[in-house]
A and B are shown apart, each in its own frame.
Chain A
Amino acid sequence: MYPAGFDYTAPSTVDETLAILAQRGEDAKVLAGGQSLIPLMKLRFAQPPMIVDINRLPGLDFIDASNGYLRVGALVRHNDVVASDVVRRTNHTVAHAAPWVSDPLVRNLGTVCGSLAHADPQGDWASVMLACNGEVVASKSSGERVIPMAEFITGVFTTQLEPDELVTEVRVPKYDGPSGGTYLKLERKVGDYATVGVAIHLTLGSDRRIAQAGIGLTAVGSTNIKAVDAEQSLVGAEPTAEAFAEAGRRAALAADPRDDVRGSADYKRHVVDVFVQRGLATATELATASAA
């Protein structure tokens, strides 16, 4: 299988990249890890007239935990996140999700930011960012803007990004108080799309009640879903099995899965319920341990 022909350029600075994107507009497609884009091009679902390869850009492979954020640069590969001590120390949800992304070979090339910009509803990272209230930083020649994850994805494979914008980083805020999180994924085999994925974040207040809760759902709708109703039911509650059961029930209602080869819609909704409860229990344990 072969992609259609395209013009290729590999700029050496971000400014040069943004100038090319501004000039070529919708004709240009950014290539980072390529682990979603190249398969689509080979199937000719995507036929961009120009590929802008950003792999030669310096300074975009940072993982950084300063200034109140965990920041992940545009050229950070999934396996960089797996290996990162900074991530392990800073955010359980991100740390637990990374080893679940695709397979070890794809993780050596695929990027976190590229995966988010691709906006596949079966992608794991968007659920993590929804649960953690992450933000995407997008740059263009005239400046940069910060887009909350909850607004970034607008539909299947569709985001708010303009054709002249480049995602330079994604970041999640550090939390005020003992926090925990995790990512649970059911997959038929390594590298397959998720049957169901659930991202959980939780912060405890000084009264040991839940101060902040985040729940993101993968592969159970036309986009990743932020289970807002379930999150709200947790805020102010004690972290008990009853509270988790109520959140699980509400998250299952927020899910909008379809019957397919990976399972029936009812089954997937049930997995969401169970995963949310398990994830909240794990997150509570981790938050409690971090407070000790």
Chain B
Amino acid sequence: MEISVTVNGTVHSSEIEPRVLLADYLRRILGLTGTHIGCDTTSCGVCTVLLDGKPIKSCTVFAVQADGRSITTVEGLKQDGALTAVQRGFKQEHGLQCGFCTPAMMLVGTALLETNADPSEDEIRWAISGNLCRCTGYMNIVKAIQWAAKERKTEVTIPEQTVSVVETAEVNA
């Protein structure tokens, strides 16, 4: 059947079978392989994308359910070639080792900071509790999101034309 989904700000129309999972729609049909598939059983969270701004597991949603809705994948985070504060945080704080869980972790971190600009360590750990990382022990992932929160606070105090203002507009679009 015909669906029309806004992915990272661009509208895509596709003819698909109803049983196509959102993760496969993004990876195989749109070629956006930044969304990973890990356990394929709703446990690991590496397939996380934002559906209308909220993090969900794309291996456990049919693509037809996203018809008319908005998806953000890791490819949609970077704006005009500039990394977001969350992305820079993962680099600064070495928030990854193998990188397999990283797109999901960055999307969860992004969604968290949209609703809670100054999360406590507990709130960050709570937010990422549906996402497995087998390398880092989570320490540096938490630090990366804390770094991003601090960085975003500095950015939004500078009025207009800052990277974070553009990023907010795009994520909410």
Enumerate chain A interface residues (CB-CB to B < 8 A). 1-8, 10, 31, 34-35, 38-39, 42-43, 51, 53, 55, 79, 102-106, 108-109, 190-191
Chain B, residues 43-77, CB within 8 Å of chain A (1/0): the string is 10100100100111100111011010000000000
Please name all residues of chain B whose beta carbon is closer than 8 Å to the beta carbon of A191 when the two chains form the complex. Answer: 43, 129-130
In the complex, what distance in Å separates the CA atom of A53 from the CA atom of B61?
11
Give the CA-CA distance A5 to B62 in the complex, in Å: 12
Contacts of B61 in A (CB 8 A): 34, 38, 109
Q: Considering only CB atoms and an 8 Å cut-off, how many residues of chain B contact the other chain?
A: 28
Number of A-B contacts (CB under 8 A): 80
Whether a CB of chain A sits under 8 angstroms from the CB of B1 is: yes
Between A and B, 5 residue pairs with Cβ closer than 8 Å are: A35-B42, A35-B60, A38-B42, A109-B57, A191-B43
Residues of A within 8 A of B1 (CB): 8
Chain B min CB distance to A47 (Å) = 11
CB distance from A22 to the nearest CB of B (A): 21
Contacts of A3 in B (CB 8 A): 19
Q: Would you give the shortest CB distance from B171 to chain A, in whole angstroms?
A: 16
Would B43 and A105 count as touching, CB distance under 8 A? no
A42-B40, A103-B129, A103-B130 known; A8+B60 contact, CB < 8 A: no
| Structural contact, B129 and A104, CB atoms closer than 8 A | yes
Min CB distance A44 to B, Å, is 11
A51 to B65, CA, bound (A): 11
Whether a CB of chain A sits under 8 angstroms from the CB of B41 is: yes
Does A106 contact B19, Cβ atoms closer than 8 Å? no
Contact with A along B11-35 (1 / 0, CB 8 A): 0000001110100000000000000
Is the CB–CB distance between B65 and A55 below 8 Å? yes
Contact B64 A105, beta carbon cutoff 8 Å: no
The answer to whether B130 and A5 touch across the interface, beta carbons within 8 angstroms, is no
Select A105's contact among B40, B65, B130, beta carbons within 8 Å: B130
B66 nearest CB across to chain A (Å): 10
Complex interface: chain B residues within 8 A of A39 (CB)? 41-42, 60
Chain B residues within an 8 Å CB radius of A10 = 64, 67
B97 to chain A, nearest CB (A): 20
Are A105 and B56 within 8 A (Cβ)? yes
Are A104 and B18 interface neighbours, CB within 8 A?
no
Closest to A99 in B: B126
- Whole-angstrom distance between the Cβ of A102 and the nearest chain B Cβ: 8
The one of A2, A53, A55, A106 in contact with B130, judged by C-beta atoms closer than 8 angstroms, is A106
Residue B131 lies at the interface, judged by CB distance under 8 Å to chain A? yes
Min Cβ gap B3→A in Å is 10
Q: How far is the CA of A108 from the CA of B52 in the complex (A)?
A: 11
Residue B127, interface by CB 8 Å: yes
Determine the residue in chain A with the shortest Cβ distance to B18: A8
Q: In the complex, which of the residues A51, A53, A105, A190 contacts B57, with contact meaning CB atoms closer than 8 Å?
A: A105
Nearest B residue to A43 via CB reads: B41
CB distance from A125 to the nearest CB of B (A): 18
Contacts of B55 in A (CB 8 A): 104-105, 108
Chain B residue at minimum C-beta to C-beta distance from A189: B129
Whole-angstrom distance between the alpha carbons of A8 and B65 in the complex? 10
A5 touches B65 (CB 8 A): no
Closest partner residue, chain A, to B42 (CB atom): A39
Contacts of B57 in A (CB 8 A): 105-106, 109
Q: Which single residue of chain A is at the shortest CB-CB distance from B130?
A: A103
Choice from A1, A34, A104 contacting B127 with Cβ under 8 Å: A104
